[in-house]
Amino acid sequence: MVLNNLRLNLTAGSASVLVALLLVALKLWALGQTGSLSIAASLTDSALDLIVSLTGLLAILYAARPADDDHAFGHSHAEDLAALAQGILVTVSATVIGWSAIERLLSDTPPALADEGAGMVAMTISITLTIALILWQRRVVSKTGNRVVAADSLHYTADLLPNLGAIIALLASSAFGLVAVDSVIALAAAVLLLFGAWRITKAAFDALMDRRADPESIAKVEALVANWPGVLGYHDLKTRTSGNRIFVQVHIELDGSQSLEKAHGIGAGLKHEILRVMPNADVLIHKDPAGDPLSPNRTT
């Protein structure tokens, strides 16, 4: 399962780098042909996507390294650091794009666009490539839950609207001479990018700060522990996230008169079931005798 997830994550990361390279080359040509600010905004975003995708691919490779003496819990936080860097880069990009759009809107003589037809063809190809990549990334995320791939997918999803907007801007300029539409769409794209960057940055920051797992995952663990045969109670259930992994630890209360082998079997069976439901989890179960004053029977 782990190797298969790694393989899927690597294919998504490699595909992202390849598509980003193609989009940068295509939009650079389109910008030279048209002079469109909305295309410039899209090009800037794609150039950052290329940097981010390369960083993300390296992070996936690094995070897959097994635990060692210096990193006993593995290297999965590398994914969170990469996602945090992505959020910061997108924020800077969106700010520059938005400022340029405002300057052009306030200008008395905004530059005219040229060769809008070539630009529209280039942006249509960009949209097609982007949709194909997003579909594959979403499939990978549904199977692996990888945070870097999810962040990358969000970037490219956010790219779709600016790309469509660039086509509309070029069409408005070509058909009606409405040059200002280009700047308005670029400004809207910048706002969307800022919202996306906030989501990426917050999720990465929460993981780096060892925020607990999502409520749905916690509820799954609680349901399994509370209803597992032989478990008389539980306490100190704690979770944290790191990259695409969820760390779970819990104290379960067992009949103290049973054999160690039987107690071990109950704990091992419970751990196996948690891993079946949550394959990316790292589970630690501590066994306490029920009624022990140092281990009160509580379920909080």
Residues 71, 185 contacting (CB under 8 angstroms): no
Same domain, yes or no: 103 and 180: yes
Same domain, yes or no: 166 and 235: no
What distance lies between CA 273 and its chain's CA centroid? Answer: 27
Indicate whether 147 pLDDT > 90.
no
**What pLDDT, in 10s, does the model give residues 192-229?**
778 877 877 777 776 666 666 778 888 888 999 999 99
Same domain, yes or no: 154 and 182: yes
What distance lies between CA 209 and its chain's CA centroid? Answer: 16
Same domain, yes or no: 264 and 182: no
pLDDT mean over 242-263 = 84
Same domain, yes or no: 57 and 190: yes
In a domain, residue 9? The reply is: yes
Cβ count within 10 A of residue 137:
27
> b/e for 227-236, b at 16 or more Cβ within 10 A?
ebeebebbbe
Lowest mean pLDDT among 1-15, 36-50, 149-163: 1-15
Looking at residue 78, its pLDDT comes to 62
Looking at residue 157, its pLDDT comes to 78
Looking at residue 69, its pLDDT comes to 53
CA distance 20 to 42: 11
Looking at residue 269, its pLDDT comes to 92
Same domain, yes or no: 15 and 142: yes
Extract the tokens encoding 75: 């290297």
Same domain, yes or no: 46 and 116: yes
Same domain, yes or no: 86 and 157: yes
CA distance 56 to 86: 9
Looking at residue 85, its pLDDT comes to 74
Same domain, yes or no: 52 and 89: yes
In a domain, residue 296? The reply is: no
Looking at residue 208, its pLDDT comes to 67
Q: Report residue 300's pLDDT band, with 50, 70 and 90 as the boundaries.
A: very low
Lowest mean pLDDT among 12-26, 103-117, 183-197: 103-117
Looking at residue 60, its pLDDT comes to 62
Classified as helix, coil or strand, 283 is: strand
CA distance 19 to 23: 6
Same domain, yes or no: 157 and 25: yes
Looking at residue 73, its pLDDT comes to 52
Cβ count within 10 A of residue 35:
16
Indicate whether 265 pLDDT > 80.
yes
- Report the chain's mean pLDDT, rounded to a whole number: 77
Same domain, yes or no: 232 and 90: no
Q: In terms of residue numbers, what domain contains 252?
A: 215-289
Residue 73 vs residues 58, 103, 226, 241: alpha-carbon distances, Å: 19, 49, 27, 11
In a domain, residue 138? The reply is: yes
pLDDT > 90: percent of the chain: 7
Extract the tokens encoding 205: 């920051």
Indicate whether 83 pLDDT > 50.
yes
The structural domain count of the chain equals 2
- Concatenating the DSSP letter of every residue in 185-231 gives HHHHHHHHHHHHHHHHHHHHHHHHTTPPPPHHHHHHHHHHHHTSTT-
CATH code where residue 170 lies: 1.20.1510.10
Listed residues 208, 238, 265: the one ending a domain: 208
Alpha helices in the chain (DSSP H): 2-34, 37-63, 77-106, 116-144, 147-176, 180-208, 215-226, 260-277
Query: Which has the higher per-residue pLDDT, 68 or 187?
Result: 187
Listed residues 208, 227, 250: the one ending a domain: 208
CATH code where residue 223 lies: 3.30.70.1350
Looking at residue 72, its pLDDT comes to 45
Same domain, yes or no: 49 and 142: yes
Listed residues 208, 227, 248: the one ending a domain: 208
Q: What angle do CA 245, 246, 247 make, to 5 degrees?
A: 120
Indicate whether 1 pLDDT > 70.
no
* Cα dihedral value 259, 262, 267, 268, nearest 10: 130
